[in-house]
Amino acid sequence: MTDPDFSTAPLDVVVIGAGVAGMYAMHRLREQGLRVHGFEAGSGVGGTWYFNRYPGARCDVESFDYSYSFSEELQQEWDWSEKYAAQPEILSYLDHVADRFDLRSGFTFDTRVQSAQFDEASSTWRVRTDGGHDVTSRFVVCATGSLSTANVPNIAGRETFGGEVFHTGFWPHEGVDFTGKRVGVIGTGSSGIQSVPLIAEQAEHLFVFQRSANYSVPAGNTPLDDKRRAEIKADYAERRALSKRSGGGSPFVSDPRSALEVSEAERNAAYEERWKLGGVLFAKTFADQTSNIDANATAAAFAEAKIRSVVEDQAIADLLIPNDHPIGTKRIVTDTDYYQSYNRDNVSLVDLKSAPIEAIDEAGIKTADAHYELDALVFATGFDAMTGALDRIEIRGRSGETLRENWHAGPRTYLGLGVHGFPNLFIVTGPGSPSVLSNMILAAEQHVDWIADAIEHLDSNGIDTIEPSAEAVDTWLEECSRRASATLFPSANSWYMGANIPGKPRIFMPFIGGFGVYSDICADVAAAGYRGFELN
């Protein structure tokens, strides 16, 4: 596809990224009559679902909820085959959406934005790419994703490994056949835990290198039949309304009581019900589960018993039971047969807490007490979350300051949407918004709608720029920090806290007050004439 002629006049909007947020931004902003163009590093749409093709990749939000709500026809016509959709089905869905709304024509693919610089005299952004584009635009919408910049730990000798090397977040499109191979997986977050059972089915031997154990709840995935699909579709409006008012963007609410005020029998019955429902919702069985350590301990004990009941060797179960964070304060993983994998003869758990990795060499991994010979190595080591993708673009604001400099002590936004000193730059599901704590598709829609309305407001009032005031950013940071401090989340060494990246400032990045609450705040800000933003 050839690019449009960028030289005739400034674009209205450059969209960075063609994942779920960038795709909707392209649709919504075009519908508003704006001249929009997007750049995407991948060769196709889908973002996370384009890149994360590792075996077992599956969404942990139910498929009917993890889908666009903006088009009633779209949500009625698409048929999900499973309760929790796997990556190939989600990518087909996103490809379908791109075709149906002609979104691909708005993007240049295989192209990474390298820099964006604001010019105060013309109130425009100059955006340059690694494909040689040099484009002027009134607005920039960063739909760059929260988990899109791979973290590959700098382990001594990493480059010397003689076998195949993969990162779960950038999996080969043609798939990988591990048959007959000795495979090492480093990392036991969602990506590692989801891929282990499938790699174990193929590999001659699988070594799972675990630094910290994580809590995982079985997905309880089931096929969806016509009857179930019809039931959900008949009630879609109500389901969406509940999701949009909820804390996490799906139609499930916690029991408002404390886990400690009900009897043990009632509490365990509630946990059992959530456990069967599957996935991360277990963390929200009772309202105080992630704010009261004693309430949390009851959920942790329940999960521990579940792990022990599956894993045959209790010494291995001991290692698989987390002991360094309250349950739910790192994202609970949604798995299929993860713990069962450790009952296989060809799977070994390598405990890095007792014997850390010392080096990678040509033949494999050397820990403090052994050497593991490997044919293939899988880094399931996560991402430089929430700030990584923005950090690698040279974004320069009004005074020439870079976003990187502005965020040197941690990300500073107002509502996660805008940054002081960076007029007309919008971030979708950025730090300071519910983002990764919510259903990312509904969160992206809410943000993009807000951004589109803001641009409409500017255009209909002859206003050139919108930029959060310094005070609004300070106040919002305090608000986010106050809300996070009232929970157990800051006590975990999670990627929410930036703790997985050496040297990254330690700050709880998402807004934890809930998706519904947050949406109301954004609506209220707009209704009050964009309170906290300077309009010029």
Q: Does 153 bind ligand N01 (CB under 6 A)?
A: yes
Q: Does 500 bind ligand N01 (CB under 6 A)?
A: yes
CA distances from 24 to 143, 407, 481, 508 (A): 10, 27, 30, 27
Q: Does 382 bind ligand N01 (CB under 6 A)?
A: yes
Q: In the set 63, 188, 254, 446, which binds ligand N01 (CB under 6 A)? A: 188
DSSP line for 429-468: S-BTBSGGGS-HHHHHHHHHHHHHHHHHHHHHTT---EEE
Site for ligand N01 in 15-44 (CB under 6 A): none
Answer yes or no: are the C-beta atoms of 38 and 21 closer than 8 Å. no
CA distance 167 to 150: 8
CA distance 51 to 531: 38
Site string for ligand N01, 293-332 (x = CB under 6 A): --------------------------------------x-
DSSP at 534: E
Q: Which amino acid does the sequence have at 164?
A: E
Which helix (H) or strand (E) segment is 348 a member of?
A: strand 347-351
Q: Does 158 bind ligand N01 (CB under 6 A)?
A: no
Q: Which is nearer to ligand N01, 186 or 444 (CB)?
A: 186
CA distance 146 to 308: 34
Q: In the set 35, 112, 211, 229, which binds ligand N01 (CB under 6 A)? A: 211
Could you tell me the smallest distance in angstroms from the CB atom of residue 51 to ligand N01?
Answer: 11
Q: In the set 207, 407, 422, 495, which binds ligand N01 (CB under 6 A)? A: 495
Q: Which is nearer to ligand N01, 243 or 381 (CB)?
A: 381
For tokens 């499938």, the residue is 198
Site string for ligand N01, 418-447 (x = CB under 6 A): ------------------x-----------
Answer yes or no: are the C-beta atoms of 361 and 161 closer than 8 Å. yes
Site string for ligand N01, 383-422 (x = CB under 6 A): x---------------------------------------
Strands 164-167 and 182-186 come out as unpaired
For tokens 């829609």, the residue is 445
Q: In the set 329, 381, 424, 487, which binds ligand N01 (CB under 6 A)? A: 381
Q: In the set 69, 148, 285, 334, which binds ligand N01 (CB under 6 A)? A: 334
Residues that bind ligand N01 (CB under 6 A): 58-60, 147, 153, 155, 168, 186-192, 194, 211-212, 331, 334, 352, 357, 380-383, 436, 495, 500
